[in-house]
Structure 1
Amino acid sequence: MAPNHSQWKLNHTMLRIKDPKKSLEYYKLLGLSQVNKLEFPDNKFDLYFLAYDGPESASSGAHWTDREGVIELTHNYGSENDPNFTINNGNKDPGKGFGHICISVDNLQAACKRIEDAGYKFQKKLTDGRMKSIAFALDPDGYWVEIIGQKNVDETKDVKETETSAYRMNHTMIRVKDHEKSLKFYQDVMGMTLMRTSEQKEAGFTLFFLGYPGDYPMDKESPNGVNPLAGKEGLLELTWNYGTEKEEGQVYHNGNDEPQGFGHICVSVDDLQEACKFMEEKNVNWKKRLTDGRMKNVAFVLDPDNYWIEVIQNEKIKKSSDW
């Protein structure tokens, strides 16, 4: 029996970081709040879970497993004092695979100015290149954070204020070798819905946006050309560069082999045991079954490009762990 995918959520994206003090300061500037912290002193690492938790946020006050668009920062003790420790941001070889996370904001120009005024660098400013409606800010480890607007840029050009409580952690982008295999996996196994496709034929790539729609209107009107999914949290963007499907072997780096950076995406489910049983019947490639190792409350599946997908219980639906 298929699980109830309508209750599944694209819960979080894990990124390894060098210095938690610097990273937390940066993501706090972007309006994110720490909604949980898990400490593993015996294993010498801490996990910080960040989400939008303001009065206008999508999941204010919810348990961290009952949210979409959470960012998990993983800090391995001592990395902040190691001059040789660097993070692979996923956008250059030999570590190319993960691309970026993306936040959507109420006022694109004011939000970008605020980040720039705080002294942070940009991979692409609004004024760079042809696309004047997206920017890419760099976090302290060099991860790309895409910034998109929830309103048309012409409507906000004279507005000087930005309110972070209106922001959304919109999507996570990974590059895929074979779009047909990846779309089949994320729809058939992970139960996601293809919510938007953006063909960029002249540039030689197509973007596929998948997610769990929940009550987000699939037929939402797009005012003045604004991305109709800009108000949603927890989307997965698959980037397919034409021709990669013909290449031999693994094309992209999963972030967990050296050089390390991005770790995984995570889906929270209505019933963890049933979800894993369903995946077993689908003959998935496991990185870690529920029964493997000491942690009996998490499983990891591999997607067609060997990206890791963590599967956890939504604790609001069914209590199973004290985290």
Structure 2
Amino acid sequence: MPKPPKAIHILAFPDVQLLDVAGPLQVFASANEQAVNLGGAAPYSPTVIARQPGSVMSWAGLGLQTFPLPEEASDTLIVAGGRGVHQALEDEQLVDWVRQQAASARRLASVCTGAFLLAQAGLLDGHRVATHWDSCETLAQRFPKVQVDPDPIFINEGTLWTSAGVTAGIDLALALVEADLGRNIALAVAQDLVVFLKRPGGQSQFSTALSMQQSTRNTDSRFADLHAWILDNLANELSVATLAEHVGMSERSFVRHYRAHTGNTPARAIEQLRVEAARRLLGDSALPIKRIADRCGFGTEETLRRSFMRAVSVTPQAYRERFTAS
């Protein structure tokens, strides 16, 4: 007899963040499709639930069809976030329901500021958790018993999963699918959704490349273009002379202007980009560390190790053992 599908309940509320709901929902729906295509039964029964059954208006202005809060146990209860979460915290009946449902659920998860609702229910005390980077300080101040880590995309502690903001909910849902159905199905879902990279939980919320784009968006566009070119050429020799030639400056002028516009030296910026690329490969591939050092432009394993220790405070091998996706 086929196993009954797992009840995946995604909790929404007025002014919920649309992607916090839609991202995980689509991951589980796509996992069903992949499983059926392989000749099996759909493993999940994903539904959006709310205290306001029928329809909930997301903060983006799109209404979501919702079902009543279930009386049966959830296999996985996922609490979405969004601007409306702080109003939801004042709904004592909703908080009580979350607390009771969590006691019988196999897994409990939050996306983005959904962590506030779990914290209000007392379910995060003593746990290391993730939330949107912009809400980390507020969460830590409001709930001092919660250990808020501002860096990871998502964190798993046993049956508790918490994730950073918005699209990180997709990463979290892919990790849940991988835990249930295996890596191949999870990767097939990621490919189906055209996700650029299936990120492990230890990946930082803060993209070095994005931060550099932010630092140059209102200044010299040549440096924004340069950063994009560097990302495509990390394995190559990237001396100051090469960079200066690429933007059409003298070496001395380039170094002075680059530091003025970005607040960083060219050498430090390249090291940060190479370390970030190495972190992705360490967490999401089985490539030998020597190959990763070559591919990211470090040249030698020892150079990679020194740069990694400066940036991440652990060795590449230790990082891989802790944050590998498989």
Q: TM-score, normalised by structure 2?
A: 0.27
Question: Bigger relative contact order, structure 1 or 2, given CA contacts below 8 A and separation 6+?
Answer: 1
**Rg larger in structure:** 2
Give the TM-score of the pair, scaled to structure 1: 0.27
Tell me which protein shows more helix as a share of its residues: 2
